[in-house]
Amino acid sequence: MTLSRHILEPFEADSIVLGDALELLPRVPSKTVDLIVTDPPFAIDFRAQKMNYNRTGANVLEGYREVDGRDYAEFSIRWMEEAYRILAPSGSMYVFSGWNRLKDVLSAVDDAGFSTINHIIWKYQFGVFTRKKYVTSHYHIIFAVKNPGSYTFNKVEHYPEDVWTIKREYWKGRKKTPTKLPSDLVRKILSFSSNPGDLVLDPFLGSGTVAVVSKEMDRRFLGFELVSDYYEFARERLDLASCTGQA
Ligand SMILES: C[S@@+](CC[C@H](N)C(=O)[O-])C[C@H]1O[C@@H](n2cnc3c(N)ncnc32)[C@H](O)[C@@H]1O
């Protein structure tokens, strides 16, 4: 879908906004977004610097905004109902979740009206060392759509399996946020589930990877982030990113 200039008002395509997604999402016009890719806060006692796989804490931006576990079910349904409203009829959503709050995420996906197409496992390296339990080294990705009879799925691989082994990026000596998704992972999602010119939204931007990869792949983008240091970091990354028009 190619966006006309006014269709997203009060927002503009190819922009990111500092603010609370729960307040901003209701202002996005209905049926305007082609793809939502998001990694919401996870409601674990997340200590940003300690948990980072690259322990050079001084480079890790602090201030990551968490949601209390007791509020997670309500938080999830609130944003997902809006996600459903603003998605185009043929739109898709990819939501990341750790196992600890997965039940809330799965319930919210259903309750908001989505149809789940796949439950993908992302296997990564650098899980946090443990003494009395297995090291967590996977994440869940729920691929859901509004209309299972009509959604974008570009079969860019012949035999695309639902377990993805993709390495986290090692940003040696560079400023980073604690939960950055690898660009390759986002690129894979965009290749399968969007086309050039489509509008991609991430309501919980963090370091802005979804917006950056969207720009690189000639998609339009919109993103929200509550923490100003993360927002500024995402803006810096976006300024450096260039449109290549290809993956
Ligand atoms: C798991 S991180 C996203 C990481 C991102 N995918 C990346 O690649 O960097 C979730 C982000 O959501 C932000 N956040 C938490 N609550 C929010 C809210 N209500 N509105 C907007 N952003 C929020 C957090 O500050 C955090 O940066």
- Sequence ranges of the domains in the chain: 15-240
Report how far ligand 1's centroid is from the alpha carbon of 158 (Å).
33
The pLDDT of residue 106 is: 98
Answer yes or no: is the C-beta of 48 below 6 A from any ligand 1 atom.
no
Q: Which two tokens stand for residue 164?
A: 């993805």
Pocket of ligand 1 contains residue 225 by CB under 6 Å: yes
Q: Is 224 in the pocket of ligand 1 (CB under 6 A)?
A: yes
Q: Which atom of ligand 1 is nearest to the CA of 207?
A: 9
Nearest to 183 by CA among 233, 239, 121, 247: 247
Closest residue by Cα to atom 13, ligand 1, is 204
* 15-240 fold: Rossmann fold (3.40.50)
| C-beta of 180 in contact with ligand 1 (< 6 A) | yes
Residue 92 DSSP SS3: strand
Whether 77 lines ligand 1, by a CB cut-off of 6 Å, is no
Residues 226, 66: Cα–Cα separation, whole Å: 10
State which H helix or E strand residue 36 sits in. strand 33-38
Q: Is the C-beta atom of 39 inside 6 A of ligand 1?
A: yes
| Residue to substitute in 95, 105, 225 for testing ligand 1 pocket (most ligand atoms within 8 angstroms of CB) | 225
Q: What is the mean pLDDT of each run of 10 residues along the chain (247 residues)?
A: 70 96 98 97 57 49 72 95 98 95 96 98 87 93 98 97 92 70 97 97 97 97 96 95 62
| Residue 224: per-residue pLDDT | 98
DSSP state letter for 190? H
* Residue among 25, 205, 207, 238 to mutate when testing ligand 1 (max atoms within 8 A of CB): 205
204 CA distance to ligand 1 middle (Å): 4
Nearest CA to ligand 1 atom 5: 206
Distance, CA of 37 to chain centre: 4
**Angle, CA 178 vertex, CA 176 and CA 182 arms, to 5°:** 75
pLDDT of residue 238: 96
For CA atoms 14, 8, 206, 24, the dihedral sign is positive
User: What are the backbone dihedrals phi and psi of residue 197, each rounded to the nearest 5 degrees, phi first?
Assistant: 90, -15
Q: How far is CA 55 from CA 47, 52, 122, 161, 224, in A?
A: 12, 6, 22, 32, 27
